[in-house]
Structure 1
């Protein structure tokens, strides 16, 4: 009698339907207590009874979550979680409603699916954590993780996760960028798509594309870039070796499966391209210690450079020639620092964008030295010329000089950049002086026994800086010579000459400040490009870091010299219509009269830095 009761209970339990809480393709969200679209399909409930929550009746249903299978009880319209089951699930290679495509190692939809081979109510999909996946291995490893699925003919296929790579000696192993079932969507983000796999027939550089292969899932490095077949020369051999032409050594390099920074193949779905592509792993470059420190100096300089430009434009200080020169110099320095901050934050080469970034750095780094040279020349011409014009004649001369300065300040960097671009594209120079831009770094590259960076970039910068130093020395010599001549003339003329010399002397003090801030530091920068200071020990290394940090504070120094002055402060208050008290105004007027001789003017006060 007892056996009869137990048999009856078992029959009733089997007859009771196994309900899925949500509809097919949906999953229960434990946070919102609603059914959302299942984007991953990694854990699914297999049953013909779905969408129990929409029935509006009391009872129990089951649903998959990221953590396992949850049991829900519906009572009087309320959802009550009962239990979370984490146990043994049937390992299926593709989601429910899909069969396995053994040629593409992907999944394809199946109409009116039954999946009679599935044992159990819940399936776990794919092998997303596996490094090496082999289809139908011979012999079978009973201890290995695996999944089962049927192909389009209904034949059962076993996929195993292997820890060793001995299988790669028998058949080709192909590196796939994303884990099993995933592919690139909207960039290099691996998302579950299942339907892409790896199509070996997408490229002519793959030898014997129809031969069977195993998949090494997960890329071997964290950062990759697209390998365009139009730009790079490479092949994937039948034995799984990746062979490519390396510009650094001007020879072919063969990388086996153990190479840390090798290739991978992946399907990409992004605005830049759709389809299968080769990608090359790029090693995680360690940013030099000095760039870590100077990054914050550059950020601070950028803030003060922006303030300097805005205040000069607001107060109309660009009406004089020197003001226009300073604005151009500030703009060039600002853009250079912004690019350097970006490069030192993200050093990953990225094909055409990396090349554009490299040439931009070449252009603006040269523009910084060129406009510094313009500033030095203008100061030297002002002190070295005794004849001055006034009125329209002076404005015409200033305009002509400005056009010459603009042509030089922006033209020389453009010409130098175009020369480097031409030789890089033509590749006609010997390796020792052949420039390379954007292949391994987003700048003109420093390679072993290659001196293109020195020849095309560092040497021009050094020459410009030597010219600047000569101009500063000549300017100082001129001022000292004038002072000696003043001491030799009579008292009446001496008084007038001393008045003029006092004004010029204060100009000279400002010039000396600029020479220290803009000249000496950049001279060290130009010279240090020829010598690696870290080779001389820790002390020399930290001297270079300290000097570079000071050098990168150019924006702060410019702001202190040209903006932090009483005249700029008063002009700024007047511009904002802020009235000061009579006492302060009287002191300001008195100070303005007493400081009339201290204005830094170019061309008899027309081009003034007050």
Structure 2
């Protein structure tokens, strides 16, 4: 029986002359294992397949990127390998498929017979070609091409051209992916072959049934889905793409030579399946200052997270200022994370770009709002002479916290909603009409358009001016108290000086905050009105340096509020770590002095008595 089977296999092998090492739809891996062929760009024309799984002696061949590999097996083990540069037949579709010239795609065939294919090995498609023409007349000598059969068994020739001369005779349509590929799971081009390009999916295409050539290999990497509900556009019969441009408030026509124009592609993603128009944008060039400040933001995020965790662990949020600081840290952390993402991932989709733009507007305003809350709280702590204790003070703190929360998060929310409303309604004059998410994921800066200044930069500047005034008033109050102390008698002066000494420690902290969070942000708010790079290289690098300092907010906050003896001691006690007696005694000696560094209305002037 075994001899009969072996004889039958030998006869088939001689008739077919060679075996395919793997099964159909499989390719040979680096360790001679058969795995699924995801690209199907190379094929073997043979009815004898899956030789390696038979475990018999003989030879088999497989097509690879390096050439044709032939394996010799003895007792089921590979004993020899040979690599030759064979000739590949140019087939338009994978084996087992025919070509559909109406939609420029491939469709499954009932059998794997391809009598027109000359040779044993085929190379599929024209993935490196930019201009592809079906059944060209006349043929171009020496042009790269591929052959296949249609559903009726007729041969179709697809030819690769070097120029756009063919586009004068018939419409040329831009395809987002290269030949045989389409979008899968987003804007990722993968080999699918079965989608091609159909023009019957949209009413915005003139004469969709007319023949057309394909332009593949888009010249830009950033594309956005063009929703027909949001954009006004048409693909004309001559191949010109016509769309309405908000910047100029007029229609723009882009020909085939426009590098950043439209493209059409089939998409298979959770957001939608089918053919869609996409707008092609040039690659975003990250400004030099964002390259430097990116690492400052990352470092700040690390220290902001540490500050939040330590404050929550030690219960520092029991007092009012602790709650304010946590809100400020959370807002700053989220803003920096969004900015890091924006300057790292430059290919968000259309809807996500809009969401990201409004999120940046909200959290950038929240940063200034909570900074304003901190300044107000410090000013009220030093500027008020009457303070309550006990339950009365706690009630006041609670009411003040609710006011702070409403302001710190409410103002950014209201401002964001106002921008969203005017962006959606589009009722304002162009000069002050805000645009978000059309060409960039933020409120856009356009020529002769001042919406960014009016709706965002100006409110930030006003808040920062208020902060500066509050700092000046606080410092003036402390200096005035010092002068009054010098005028009273020695006994009272001793008590007042003790109080002033502790006030002075808090003033020193205020001065640090004024430098870290006040002065720098004032420069940031002012520089938004002027492009520093226009004033030369020195001004540009001054702006970069200042921005890097601004982006180190998390580091400065950690140094001011966490790197203190009291926080260190509380942290040790929280971890049940005992210290030596002389250190504990030293801690008790300085406990009253350390406590004054807290910013809290609950432990305000009454705690200094």
Q: Secondary structure at the match of 1:541?
A: helix
Task: Describe the superposition over 1:307-354 as per-residue Cα deviations: whole angstroms up to 9, x where unpaired.
Answer: 111111111111111111111111111111111111111233521111
Count of matched residue positions in the alignment of Structure 1 and Structure 2: 606
Contact persistence 2:21–2:52 (CA under 8 A): yes
Shift of 1:561: 0.8
Task: Describe the superposition over 1:545-570 as per-residue Cα deviations: whole angstroms up to 9, x where unpaired.
Answer: 10111111111111111111101111
Task: Describe the superposition over 1:275-331 as per-residue Cα deviations: whole angstroms up to 9, x where unpaired.
Answer: 111111121111111111111111111111111111111111111111111111111
Contact persistence 1:43–1:68 (CA under 8 A): no
Q: How far apart are the structure 1 equivalents of 2:3 and 2:335?
A: 87
Q: Secondary structure at the match of 1:363?
A: helix
Contact persistence 2:69–2:82 (CA under 8 A): yes
Q: Secondary structure at the match of 1:168?
A: helix
Q: How far apart are the structure 1 equivalents of 2:162 and 2:4?
A: 51
Residue 147 (structure 1) aligns with: 146
Q: Secondary structure at the match of 2:17?
A: coil
Contact persistence 2:21–2:49 (CA under 8 A): yes
Q: What's the Cα RMSD here?
A: 4.0
Cα pair distance change 1:12/1:604, threshold 3 Å: closer
Contact persistence 2:388–2:606 (CA under 8 A): no
Contact persistence 2:293–2:547 (CA under 8 A): yes
Cα pair distance change 1:554/1:7, threshold 3 Å: closer
Shift of 1:2: 37
Contact persistence 1:226–1:279 (CA under 8 A): yes
Cα pair distance change 1:272/1:538, threshold 3 Å: same
Shift of 1:53: 2.8
Q: Secondary structure at the match of 1:388?
A: coil
Task: Describe the superposition over 1:500-526 as per-residue Cα deviations: whole angstroms up to 9, x where unpaired.
Answer: 222212211111111111110110000
Q: How far apart are the structure 2 equivalents of 1:401 and 1:5?
A: 92
Contact persistence 2:143–2:160 (CA under 8 A): yes
Cα pair distance change 1:246/1:12, threshold 3 Å: closer
Q: How far apart are the structure 2 equivalents of 1:598 and 1:96?
A: 77
Q: How far apart are the structure 2 equivalents of 1:587 and 1:513?
A: 26
Task: Describe the superposition over 1:164-204 as per-residue Cα deviations: whole angstroms up to 9, x where unpaired.
Answer: 11001110111111111111112222211111110111111
Task: Describe the superposition over 1:359-391 as per-residue Cα deviations: whole angstroms up to 9, x where unpaired.
Answer: 111111111111111111111112121111111
Contact persistence 1:175–1:264 (CA under 8 A): yes
Contact persistence 2:175–2:263 (CA under 8 A): yes
Structure 1 residue runs of 4 or more that deviate by more than 4 Å after TM superposition: 1-16, 593-601, 606-610
- Between stretches 144-153 and 594-603, larger displacement belongs to 594-603
Cα pair distance change 1:7/1:305, threshold 3 Å: closer
Cα pair distance change 1:439/1:13, threshold 3 Å: closer
Cα pair distance change 1:97/1:501, threshold 3 Å: same
Q: How far apart are the structure 1 equivalents of 2:357 and 2:266?
A: 28
Contact persistence 2:397–2:601 (CA under 8 A): no
Contact persistence 1:19–1:52 (CA under 8 A): yes
Cα pair distance change 1:6/1:390, threshold 3 Å: closer
Cα pair distance change 1:595/1:400, threshold 3 Å: closer
Contact persistence 1:506–1:600 (CA under 8 A): no
Q: How far apart are the structure 1 equivalents of 2:486 and 2:6?
A: 126
Residue 276 (structure 1) aligns with: 275
Contact persistence 1:268–1:275 (CA under 8 A): yes
Contact persistence 2:378–2:599 (CA under 8 A): no
Gaps of 5+ in 1: none
Q: Secondary structure at the match of 2:563?
A: coil
Cα pair distance change 1:607/1:230, threshold 3 Å: farther
Task: Describe the superposition over 1:34-73 as per-residue Cα deviations: whole angstroms up to 9, x where unpaired.
Answer: 2222222212111222233344332222222232221111
Contact persistence 1:282–1:348 (CA under 8 A): no
Residue 42 (structure 2) aligns with: 43
Contact persistence 2:565–2:594 (CA under 8 A): no
Shift of 1:10: 17
Cα pair distance change 1:494/1:135, threshold 3 Å: same
Shift of 1:89: 1.5
Shift of 1:9: 20
Contact persistence 2:266–2:274 (CA under 8 A): yes
Shift of 1:598: 6.5
Task: Describe the superposition over 1:520-541 as per-residue Cα deviations: whole angstroms up to 9, x where unpaired.
Answer: 0110000000111111111111
Cα pair distance change 1:9/1:351, threshold 3 Å: closer
Gaps of 5+ in 2: none
Shift of 1:223: 2.1
Q: Secondary structure at the match of 1:229?
A: coil
Task: Describe the superposition over 1:453-503 as per-residue Cα deviations: whole angstroms up to 9, x where unpaired.
Answer: 000000001111111111111111111111111212222222222122222
Superposition TM-score, scaled by structure 2 size: 0.95
Cα pair distance change 1:49/1:458, threshold 3 Å: same
Cα pair distance change 1:598/1:552, threshold 3 Å: closer
Q: How far apart are the structure 1 equivalents of 2:107 and 2:428?
A: 52
Contact persistence 1:267–1:276 (CA under 8 A): yes
Cα pair distance change 1:140/1:314, threshold 3 Å: same
- Between stretches 70-79 and 413-422, larger displacement belongs to 70-79
Q: Secondary structure at the match of 1:539?
A: helix
Superposition TM-score, scaled by structure 1 size: 0.94
